[in-house]
Every structure is written in structure tokens, then in C-alpha cells.
Amino acid sequence: MPPSRNVLVMLSLVATIALPGCAQDNSPPPLAGNTVPPGDRGVPGKFDGTWQVTSAGLSLDPSAETPAGCGSIDLQFEVKGSQVGGGLKRTPYGNSVESGSGFLSAPMSGTVQQDGTVAIHWERYVVTGTMSGDKVRLRWKGECGPRNATGERVAS
């Protein structure tokens, strides 16, 4: 026999009164103002998206019969909130890297400050630079010496 309407109303009332006390929220009170980074609030940051950068190749000895140096670099990385993420792998044909994932890839990680200052780490390399609007400029010291890359946001 199904429960009577009075029993269902009584159970609903007990659940409304008793259950909130069972699931106490021990989290700290919300912070005043906008001190939580936008990505942590679920709000996109002003630099969020997919970024594409390119760095021209460098020749160590332009007069050499067989060119030696560092190849061009064309890669993507993601920004979400203030965090930079992605993966890079070495190309099988020279001193270059490309975007990648899987076991041959090494993670790249970093941060973007509110003013657009970028710091990214990959293997032993530290990449620094700036973002402004939809443009990015990066620099680092590689096997062939100082490198520069420029790029833009390709997706938000």
C-alpha cells in the first residue's frame, strides 16, 4: 500500500529541516572584492584562449655547406585563468620543437599576470614575454642562443 499524503508531507518536512544540518558547509566565507583569479571564479580571464607563436630558424654558420642551427618553431599553448599549459616535443629532424602530446611530449606550464607578463617553463628552458590584447611576444635562450617568437590568440 502506498504511503499516505500526510506521511509524504511529514517526510518532506523532516528532510527540509534535518538534512541541511547533516551537510554542513565548512568552507571559508567568500572573499570581498575580486581577489580570486578570474579562472578560479569560472569567469574567463582576459588572456584565456589558444595562442599560436612562431620563431624563425637560426643558422649557426650561414656560410657552411651543410646548414647547422636551430629550426623554426611553430607551436600552440593554452591559457585558462592565469595558467599556461600545453606540451612540446622535439622534432625528429633537427634542433626544433613542436606542439605535441603523448609520451614523447614534455609538459609546458606557466603563468600570465594581470599586466600580461608571461613566464613559461619547458624542460630546462624559461620563456618570458608579454601579452597585450590578442598579441604575444616571447623570448628565451636556446641551444642556438637567444630566440624570439611572436604570435596571436587564435581561439577564445
Secondary structure (3-state) at 106: strand
145 part of a folded domain: yes
44 part of a folded domain: yes
Q: What's the CATH code of the domain at 112? A: 2.40.160
60 part of a folded domain: yes
Secondary structure (3-state) at 8: helix
Distance of CA 136 to the CA centre of its chain: 14
pLDDT of 56 reads 87
C-alpha cell at 107: 609538459
Task: Give the number of C-alpha atoms closer than 13 A to the C-alpha of residue 68, restricted to the C-beta side.
Answer: 7
Q: How many domains does the chain have?
A: 1
pTM of the model: 0.65
Beta partners for 55? 73
Helices (H) and strands (E) in the chain, counts: 1, 11
pLDDT tens, position by position, for the chain (156 residues)?
555 555 444 444 444 444 344 444 444 444 444 454 544 444 568 999 999 999 988 776 666 555 566 778 888 899 999 999 998 777 776 667 777 777 777 888 999 999 999 999 988 889 999 999 999 999 999 878 899 999 999 998
